[in-house]
Structure 1
Amino acid sequence: MPIAVIDFETTGSSPGQGARATEIAAVLVDDGRIVGQYQSLIHTGVWVPPFIEQLTGISNAMLADAPPAAQVMREVLAFTAGCPLVAHNAAFDRAFWRAEALLACEGDATATSAVDASFACTVRLSRRLFPQAPNHRLGTLAAWHRLPDAGRAHRALADATVTAHLLLRLQQALAERLGHAGPGAIDHALLCQVQTWPVAAVDKALARHIQSCRTSAG
Protein backbone atom coordinates (compact mmCIF):
# COMPACT_ATOMS: atom_id res chain seq x y z
CA MET A 1 0.00 0.00 0.00
CA PRO A 2 1.55 3.36 -1.00
CA ILE A 3 1.94 6.12 1.57
CA ALA A 4 0.87 9.62 0.49
CA VAL A 5 3.08 12.48 1.62
CA ILE A 6 0.99 15.67 1.83
CA ASP A 7 2.03 19.32 1.85
CA PHE A 8 -0.11 22.48 1.85
CA GLU A 9 0.75 26.10 1.23
CA THR A 10 -1.81 28.39 2.83
CA THR A 11 -2.84 31.99 3.50
CA GLY A 12 -2.19 31.65 7.24
CA SER A 13 -1.46 29.34 10.13
CA SER A 14 -4.88 27.90 10.93
CA PRO A 15 -8.18 27.18 9.19
CA GLY A 16 -9.81 28.01 12.50
CA GLN A 17 -8.65 31.60 11.98
CA GLY A 18 -10.00 31.75 8.43
CA ALA A 19 -6.87 30.66 6.57
CA ARG A 20 -7.34 28.64 3.38
CA ALA A 21 -5.12 26.53 1.19
CA THR A 22 -3.33 28.07 -1.80
CA GLU A 23 -1.56 24.93 -3.05
CA ILE A 24 -1.44 21.22 -2.30
CA ALA A 25 0.86 18.39 -3.33
CA ALA A 26 0.77 14.67 -2.70
CA VAL A 27 3.75 12.40 -3.36
CA LEU A 28 3.26 8.63 -3.27
CA VAL A 29 5.93 6.41 -1.70
CA ASP A 30 5.85 2.65 -2.10
CA ASP A 31 8.39 -0.09 -1.43
CA GLY A 32 11.25 2.32 -0.82
CA ARG A 33 10.73 4.68 -3.76
CA ILE A 34 8.63 7.57 -5.04
CA VAL A 35 6.00 6.27 -7.48
CA GLY A 36 3.68 9.23 -8.18
CA GLN A 37 2.82 12.84 -7.55
CA TYR A 38 -0.05 15.34 -7.69
CA GLN A 39 0.15 19.15 -7.41
CA SER A 40 -2.24 22.03 -7.91
CA LEU A 41 -2.72 25.65 -6.98
CA ILE A 42 -6.06 26.28 -5.28
CA HIS A 43 -8.53 29.12 -5.77
CA THR A 44 -10.62 29.94 -2.70
CA GLY A 45 -11.07 33.70 -3.14
CA VAL A 46 -9.22 34.35 0.13
CA TRP A 47 -6.60 37.11 -0.08
CA VAL A 48 -2.93 36.13 0.22
CA PRO A 49 -1.07 38.50 2.59
CA PRO A 50 2.15 40.07 1.25
CA PHE A 51 4.43 38.21 3.67
CA ILE A 52 2.92 34.86 2.61
CA GLU A 53 3.31 35.82 -1.05
CA GLN A 54 6.97 36.66 -0.41
CA LEU A 55 7.52 33.40 1.51
CA THR A 56 5.88 31.07 -1.00
CA GLY A 57 6.03 32.98 -4.27
CA ILE A 58 2.30 32.30 -4.69
CA SER A 59 0.51 35.53 -5.60
CA ASN A 60 -3.13 36.54 -5.68
CA ALA A 61 -2.76 36.91 -9.45
CA MET A 62 -1.54 33.32 -9.79
CA LEU A 63 -4.52 32.02 -7.83
CA ALA A 64 -7.09 33.96 -9.83
CA ASP A 65 -6.94 31.35 -12.61
CA ALA A 66 -6.36 28.32 -10.37
CA PRO A 67 -8.98 25.56 -10.17
CA PRO A 68 -11.54 25.87 -7.36
CA ALA A 69 -10.75 24.29 -4.00
CA ALA A 70 -13.56 21.75 -4.15
CA GLN A 71 -12.34 20.41 -7.49
CA VAL A 72 -8.73 20.19 -6.32
CA MET A 73 -9.59 18.44 -3.07
CA ARG A 74 -11.80 15.91 -4.81
CA GLU A 75 -8.94 15.20 -7.22
CA VAL A 76 -6.36 14.77 -4.48
CA LEU A 77 -8.72 12.62 -2.42
CA ALA A 78 -9.13 10.36 -5.45
CA PHE A 79 -5.36 10.34 -6.08
CA THR A 80 -4.62 9.30 -2.48
CA ALA A 81 -7.64 7.03 -1.97
CA GLY A 82 -6.82 4.24 0.44
CA CYS A 83 -3.34 5.59 1.20
CA PRO A 84 -2.21 6.34 4.75
CA LEU A 85 -0.86 9.88 5.10
CA VAL A 86 2.41 11.52 6.15
CA ALA A 87 3.43 15.17 6.51
CA HIS A 88 6.21 17.24 8.02
CA ASN A 89 4.73 18.95 11.09
CA ALA A 90 1.61 16.92 10.43
CA ALA A 91 -0.68 18.81 12.81
CA PHE A 92 -0.58 21.79 10.44
CA ASP A 93 -1.28 19.83 7.25
CA ARG A 94 -3.86 17.60 8.92
CA ALA A 95 -5.87 20.66 9.99
CA PHE A 96 -6.00 22.00 6.43
CA TRP A 97 -6.59 18.52 4.98
CA ARG A 98 -9.62 18.12 7.21
CA ALA A 99 -10.97 21.64 6.69
CA GLU A 100 -10.62 21.68 2.91
CA ALA A 101 -11.87 18.12 2.47
CA LEU A 102 -14.96 18.79 4.57
CA LEU A 103 -15.77 21.85 2.47
CA ALA A 104 -15.18 19.97 -0.78
CA CYS A 105 -17.14 16.87 0.22
CA GLU A 106 -20.03 18.44 2.11
CA GLY A 107 -22.96 16.04 1.96
CA ASP A 108 -20.91 13.18 0.48
CA ALA A 109 -20.67 10.58 3.24
CA THR A 110 -18.41 8.30 1.20
CA ALA A 111 -15.85 11.01 0.46
CA THR A 112 -15.83 12.39 3.98
CA SER A 113 -14.68 9.02 5.33
CA ALA A 114 -11.13 10.01 4.29
CA VAL A 115 -11.22 13.29 6.18
CA ASP A 116 -10.12 11.94 9.56
CA ALA A 117 -7.31 9.74 8.28
CA SER A 118 -4.37 9.44 10.64
CA PHE A 119 -1.09 11.18 9.78
CA ALA A 120 2.43 10.07 10.56
CA CYS A 121 4.68 13.07 11.24
CA THR A 122 8.25 13.23 9.98
CA VAL A 123 9.11 15.89 12.58
CA ARG A 124 8.12 13.58 15.43
CA LEU A 125 9.81 10.59 13.79
CA SER A 126 13.02 12.53 13.17
CA ARG A 127 13.18 13.60 16.81
CA ARG A 128 13.08 9.95 17.82
CA LEU A 129 15.33 8.41 15.17
CA PHE A 130 17.78 11.28 14.61
CA PRO A 131 18.00 13.14 17.95
CA GLN A 132 21.50 14.28 17.00
CA ALA A 133 20.22 16.46 14.11
CA PRO A 134 20.83 20.21 14.57
CA ASN A 135 17.06 20.76 14.52
CA HIS A 136 14.10 19.15 12.82
CA ARG A 137 13.04 21.82 10.36
CA LEU A 138 12.63 20.42 6.87
CA GLY A 139 15.36 22.53 5.28
CA THR A 140 17.84 21.63 8.02
CA LEU A 141 17.10 17.92 7.73
CA ALA A 142 17.32 18.05 3.94
CA ALA A 143 20.82 19.52 4.17
CA TRP A 144 21.89 17.29 7.07
CA HIS A 145 20.79 14.09 5.30
CA ARG A 146 21.93 15.41 1.89
CA LEU A 147 18.51 14.75 0.40
CA PRO A 148 17.92 15.46 -3.30
CA ASP A 149 17.15 19.07 -4.18
CA ALA A 150 13.47 19.34 -5.14
CA GLY A 151 13.27 23.06 -5.90
CA ARG A 152 12.11 26.16 -4.06
CA ALA A 153 11.16 25.64 -0.41
CA HIS A 154 7.63 26.63 0.64
CA ARG A 155 6.13 25.34 -2.59
CA ALA A 156 3.93 22.32 -2.04
CA LEU A 157 5.46 19.87 -4.51
CA ALA A 158 9.04 20.70 -3.56
CA ASP A 159 8.33 20.36 0.15
CA ALA A 160 6.28 17.18 -0.31
CA THR A 161 9.07 15.66 -2.41
CA VAL A 162 11.73 16.51 0.17
CA THR A 163 9.48 15.12 2.89
CA ALA A 164 9.06 11.93 0.84
CA HIS A 165 12.83 11.53 0.63
CA LEU A 166 13.06 12.20 4.37
CA LEU A 167 10.40 9.55 4.98
CA LEU A 168 12.45 7.04 2.99
CA ARG A 169 15.51 7.91 5.09
CA LEU A 170 13.50 7.46 8.29
CA GLN A 171 12.09 4.14 7.09
CA GLN A 172 15.59 2.95 6.17
CA ALA A 173 17.01 3.95 9.56
CA LEU A 174 14.17 2.20 11.37
CA ALA A 175 14.52 -0.90 9.19
CA GLU A 176 18.23 -1.09 9.98
CA ARG A 177 17.63 -0.77 13.72
CA LEU A 178 14.92 -3.43 13.64
CA GLY A 179 16.89 -5.79 11.40
CA HIS A 180 14.40 -5.59 8.54
CA ALA A 181 15.33 -5.95 4.89
CA GLY A 182 14.66 -2.38 3.80
CA PRO A 183 12.43 0.70 4.05
CA GLY A 184 9.56 -1.06 2.31
CA ALA A 185 9.20 -3.28 5.40
CA ILE A 186 8.32 -0.27 7.57
CA ASP A 187 4.60 0.36 7.25
CA HIS A 188 2.49 3.34 8.25
CA ALA A 189 1.11 1.65 11.35
CA LEU A 190 4.63 1.16 12.74
CA LEU A 191 5.53 4.78 11.94
CA CYS A 192 2.49 5.96 13.88
CA GLN A 193 3.53 3.74 16.77
CA VAL A 194 7.14 4.94 16.79
CA GLN A 195 6.17 8.63 16.80
CA THR A 196 4.36 8.12 20.12
CA TRP A 197 7.38 6.66 21.92
CA PRO A 198 9.06 8.92 24.51
CA VAL A 199 12.12 10.47 22.89
CA ALA A 200 14.37 9.44 25.77
CA ALA A 201 13.17 5.83 25.66
CA VAL A 202 13.39 4.99 21.96
CA ASP A 203 16.14 2.38 22.37
CA LYS A 204 14.13 0.54 25.03
CA ALA A 205 10.96 0.76 22.93
CA LEU A 206 12.81 -0.63 19.90
CA ALA A 207 14.14 -3.52 21.99
CA ARG A 208 10.63 -4.30 23.23
CA HIS A 209 9.29 -4.16 19.67
CA ILE A 210 11.99 -6.55 18.42
CA GLN A 211 11.27 -8.97 21.27
CA SER A 212 7.54 -8.78 20.57
CA CYS A 213 8.11 -9.57 16.88
CA ARG A 214 10.32 -12.54 17.77
CA THR A 215 7.73 -13.85 20.21
CA SER A 216 4.97 -13.55 17.62
CA ALA A 217 7.10 -15.26 14.98
CA GLY A 218 8.02 -18.06 17.34
Structure 2
Amino acid sequence: MLSLKRYIVCDVETSGLSPKHGGRVIEIGAVACEEGQIVEEFGTLINVDCSIHWAAERVHGISRRMLAGMPEPEEVWRAFQVFIGGCPVVAHNATFDAAFLRHEMTMLGMHMNNRFFCSLALSRKCLPHLPNHRLATVAQHILGALPPTIRLHRALDDARLAAKIWMALDR
Protein backbone atom coordinates (compact mmCIF):
# COMPACT_ATOMS: atom_id res chain seq x y z
CA MET A 1 0.00 0.00 0.00
CA LEU A 2 0.87 3.66 -0.01
CA SER A 3 3.20 4.75 2.78
CA LEU A 4 2.85 8.42 3.55
CA LYS A 5 5.14 9.87 6.22
CA ARG A 6 2.97 12.94 6.88
CA TYR A 7 -0.38 13.52 5.31
CA ILE A 8 -3.51 15.56 5.88
CA VAL A 9 -6.99 14.05 6.12
CA CYS A 10 -9.71 16.58 5.48
CA ASP A 11 -13.44 16.97 5.11
CA VAL A 12 -15.63 19.86 4.03
CA GLU A 13 -19.25 20.71 4.71
CA THR A 14 -20.81 22.77 1.96
CA SER A 15 -23.74 25.02 1.14
CA GLY A 16 -24.64 22.93 -1.90
CA LEU A 17 -23.63 19.97 -4.03
CA SER A 18 -21.22 21.58 -6.47
CA PRO A 19 -18.96 24.63 -6.66
CA LYS A 20 -20.01 24.88 -10.33
CA HIS A 21 -23.54 25.69 -9.14
CA GLY A 22 -22.57 28.20 -6.47
CA GLY A 23 -21.84 25.78 -3.63
CA ARG A 24 -19.31 27.02 -1.09
CA VAL A 25 -17.34 25.45 1.74
CA ILE A 26 -18.91 26.54 5.03
CA GLU A 27 -16.88 24.27 7.32
CA ILE A 28 -13.41 22.75 6.99
CA GLY A 29 -11.92 20.06 9.19
CA ALA A 30 -8.46 18.56 8.78
CA VAL A 31 -6.05 16.44 10.76
CA ALA A 32 -2.33 15.98 10.20
CA CYS A 33 -1.18 12.38 10.59
CA GLU A 34 2.28 10.97 11.19
CA GLU A 35 3.29 7.41 12.05
CA GLY A 36 -0.28 6.23 12.55
CA GLN A 37 -1.27 9.09 14.85
CA ILE A 38 -3.22 12.32 14.53
CA VAL A 39 -0.67 14.94 15.54
CA GLU A 40 -2.43 18.22 14.71
CA GLU A 41 -5.96 19.46 13.96
CA PHE A 42 -7.47 22.35 12.02
CA GLY A 43 -11.17 23.13 11.93
CA THR A 44 -13.56 26.04 11.66
CA LEU A 45 -16.87 27.22 10.34
CA ILE A 46 -16.44 29.87 7.64
CA ASN A 47 -18.40 33.12 7.38
CA VAL A 48 -19.31 32.75 3.72
CA ASP A 49 -21.94 35.10 2.31
CA CYS A 50 -24.14 32.55 0.58
CA SER A 51 -27.40 30.74 1.04
CA ILE A 52 -27.33 27.17 2.33
CA HIS A 53 -29.44 24.72 0.36
CA TRP A 54 -32.10 23.18 2.60
CA ALA A 55 -30.98 19.63 1.74
CA ALA A 56 -27.38 20.40 2.68
CA GLU A 57 -28.47 22.03 5.95
CA ARG A 58 -30.58 18.98 6.76
CA VAL A 59 -27.49 16.76 6.40
CA HIS A 60 -24.94 18.77 8.40
CA GLY A 61 -27.15 21.01 10.52
CA ILE A 62 -25.13 24.14 9.79
CA SER A 63 -27.26 27.28 9.42
CA ARG A 64 -26.46 30.81 8.24
CA ARG A 65 -26.83 31.96 11.85
CA MET A 66 -23.99 29.62 12.91
CA LEU A 67 -21.64 31.22 10.36
CA ALA A 68 -22.10 34.76 11.69
CA GLY A 69 -18.98 35.94 13.46
CA MET A 70 -16.85 33.07 12.16
CA PRO A 71 -13.57 33.73 10.29
CA GLU A 72 -13.79 35.09 6.76
CA PRO A 73 -12.83 32.83 3.81
CA GLU A 74 -9.51 34.54 3.06
CA GLU A 75 -8.32 34.11 6.65
CA VAL A 76 -9.38 30.45 6.74
CA TRP A 77 -7.91 29.46 3.38
CA ARG A 78 -4.58 31.16 4.02
CA ALA A 79 -4.31 29.36 7.38
CA PHE A 80 -5.40 26.07 5.79
CA GLN A 81 -2.77 26.43 3.09
CA VAL A 82 -0.10 26.84 5.78
CA PHE A 83 -1.51 23.84 7.69
CA ILE A 84 -1.39 21.45 4.73
CA GLY A 85 1.82 22.73 3.15
CA GLY A 86 2.83 20.37 0.36
CA CYS A 87 1.51 17.26 2.12
CA PRO A 88 -0.67 14.71 0.35
CA VAL A 89 -4.36 15.03 1.23
CA VAL A 90 -6.75 12.17 1.98
CA ALA A 91 -10.54 12.57 1.92
CA HIS A 92 -13.53 10.23 1.91
CA ASN A 93 -14.83 10.92 -1.62
CA ALA A 94 -11.77 12.97 -2.53
CA THR A 95 -13.19 14.12 -5.87
CA PHE A 96 -15.92 16.06 -4.07
CA ASP A 97 -13.64 17.62 -1.44
CA ALA A 98 -10.85 18.42 -3.92
CA ALA A 99 -13.26 20.23 -6.26
CA PHE A 100 -14.53 22.45 -3.45
CA LEU A 101 -11.10 23.09 -1.92
CA ARG A 102 -9.53 24.01 -5.26
CA HIS A 103 -12.49 26.24 -6.11
CA GLU A 104 -12.21 28.15 -2.82
CA MET A 105 -8.45 28.59 -3.22
CA THR A 106 -8.77 29.70 -6.84
CA MET A 107 -11.35 32.34 -5.90
CA LEU A 108 -8.65 33.92 -3.71
CA GLY A 109 -5.88 33.61 -6.30
CA MET A 110 -4.31 30.72 -4.39
CA HIS A 111 -3.32 27.32 -5.71
CA MET A 112 -3.67 23.84 -4.28
CA ASN A 113 -1.43 21.39 -6.08
CA ASN A 114 -1.43 18.76 -3.33
CA ARG A 115 -1.91 15.17 -4.39
CA PHE A 116 -5.24 13.68 -3.27
CA PHE A 117 -5.99 10.14 -2.13
CA CYS A 118 -9.45 8.72 -1.51
CA SER A 119 -10.39 6.69 1.58
CA LEU A 120 -13.73 5.87 -0.07
CA ALA A 121 -11.97 4.22 -3.03
CA LEU A 122 -9.58 2.42 -0.67
CA SER A 123 -12.49 1.13 1.44
CA ARG A 124 -14.24 -0.20 -1.69
CA LYS A 125 -11.07 -2.03 -2.66
CA CYS A 126 -10.28 -3.45 0.79
CA LEU A 127 -13.82 -4.03 2.09
CA PRO A 128 -15.94 -5.02 -0.94
CA HIS A 129 -18.36 -7.02 1.26
CA LEU A 130 -19.76 -3.96 3.07
CA PRO A 131 -23.34 -3.00 2.13
CA ASN A 132 -22.14 0.54 1.34
CA HIS A 133 -18.99 2.56 1.83
CA ARG A 134 -20.34 5.65 3.55
CA LEU A 135 -17.99 7.10 6.12
CA ALA A 136 -20.09 5.93 9.08
CA THR A 137 -20.51 2.40 7.71
CA VAL A 138 -16.79 1.92 7.08
CA ALA A 139 -15.82 3.53 10.38
CA GLN A 140 -18.24 1.32 12.34
CA HIS A 141 -16.86 -1.75 10.60
CA ILE A 142 -13.28 -0.79 11.47
CA LEU A 143 -13.84 0.64 14.95
CA GLY A 144 -16.66 -1.64 16.06
CA ALA A 145 -18.71 1.39 17.10
CA LEU A 146 -18.51 5.10 16.53
CA PRO A 147 -17.07 7.07 19.43
CA PRO A 148 -19.96 8.68 21.37
CA THR A 149 -18.53 12.18 20.90
CA ILE A 150 -18.48 11.95 17.08
CA ARG A 151 -20.90 14.22 15.23
CA LEU A 152 -21.32 12.79 11.74
CA HIS A 153 -21.40 15.35 8.94
CA ARG A 154 -19.34 17.86 10.88
CA ALA A 155 -16.04 18.45 9.16
CA LEU A 156 -13.48 17.89 11.91
CA ASP A 157 -15.18 14.77 13.26
CA ASP A 158 -15.55 13.35 9.75
CA ALA A 159 -11.85 14.08 9.10
CA ARG A 160 -10.95 12.20 12.29
CA LEU A 161 -13.03 9.20 11.18
CA ALA A 162 -11.56 9.25 7.67
CA ALA A 163 -8.08 9.32 9.21
CA LYS A 164 -8.88 6.22 11.29
CA ILE A 165 -10.16 4.49 8.15
CA TRP A 166 -7.04 5.40 6.17
CA MET A 167 -4.70 4.29 8.95
CA ALA A 168 -6.50 0.94 9.28
CA LEU A 169 -6.66 0.17 5.55
CA ASP A 170 -3.38 1.60 4.27
CA ARG A 171 -1.15 -1.18 5.58
Please give the TM-score of this superposition, normalised by the length of structure 1: 0.72
Where 1:125 maps in the other structure, the secondary structure is helix
One-letter identity of the residue aligned with 2:93 = N
Greater gyration radius: 1
1:74 pairs with 2:78: yes
1:76 deviates by 0.7
1:93 to 78, 90, 97: 97
Please tell me the residue identity of whatever aligns with 1:118.
R
How many residue pairs were aligned? 165
Q: Which moved more, 1:124-133 or 1:155-164?
A: 124-133
- Structure 2 partner of 1:6: 10
Matched, 1:128 2:125: yes
Higher strand share: 2
Alignment-derived partner of residue 151 in structure 2:
152
Residue of structure 2 in register with 1:119 after alignment: 116
| Aligned mates of 1:69, 1:86 — CA distance in 2 | 22
Q: How far apart are 1:49 and its partner, in Å?
A: 2.5
User: Aligned letter for 1:122?
Assistant: S
Q: Any gaps of 5 or more consecutive residues in structure 2?
A: none
Structure 1 runs of 4+ with >3 Å offset: none
| 1:119 Cα offset (Å) | 0.7
Instruction: Give the share of equivalent positions with the same residue, in percent.
Output: 39
Look up the SS of the partner of 1:120 in the other structure. Answer: strand
**1:70, 1:103 within 8 Å by CA — same for their partners in 2?**
no
CA shift at 1:126, angstroms?
1.0
State which of 61, 68, 78 in structure 2 corresponds to 1:64. Answer: 68
Q: CA deviation at 1:102?
A: 1.1
SS in 2 for 1:66: coil
What is the deviation of 1:51? Answer: 2.8
1:50 matched to 2:50? The reply is: no
Write the deviation string for residues 23-61 of structure 1: whole angstroms up to 9, x where unpaired: 001111111111111001111200112332222121100
Please report the RMSD computed on the Cα atoms of aligned residues, expressed in angstroms.
1.4
Alpha-carbon shift at residue 118 of structure 1 (Å): 1.9
User: Counterpart of 1:35?
Assistant: 39
Instruction: Report the Cα offset of residue 89 of structure 1.
Output: 0.4
Show the counterpart of 2:163: 164
Q: Which runs of 5+ in 1 are unaligned?
A: 176-218
8 Å Cα contact 1:25/1:39 also seen in 2: yes
Which residue of the partner structure matches residue 29 of structure 2?
25
CA distance in 2, matches of 1:133, 1:33: 26
- Structure with the bigger percentage of helix: 1
Mapped to 1, the partners of 2:27 and 2:162 lie a distance apart of 16
Q: TM-score, normalised by structure 2?
A: 0.91
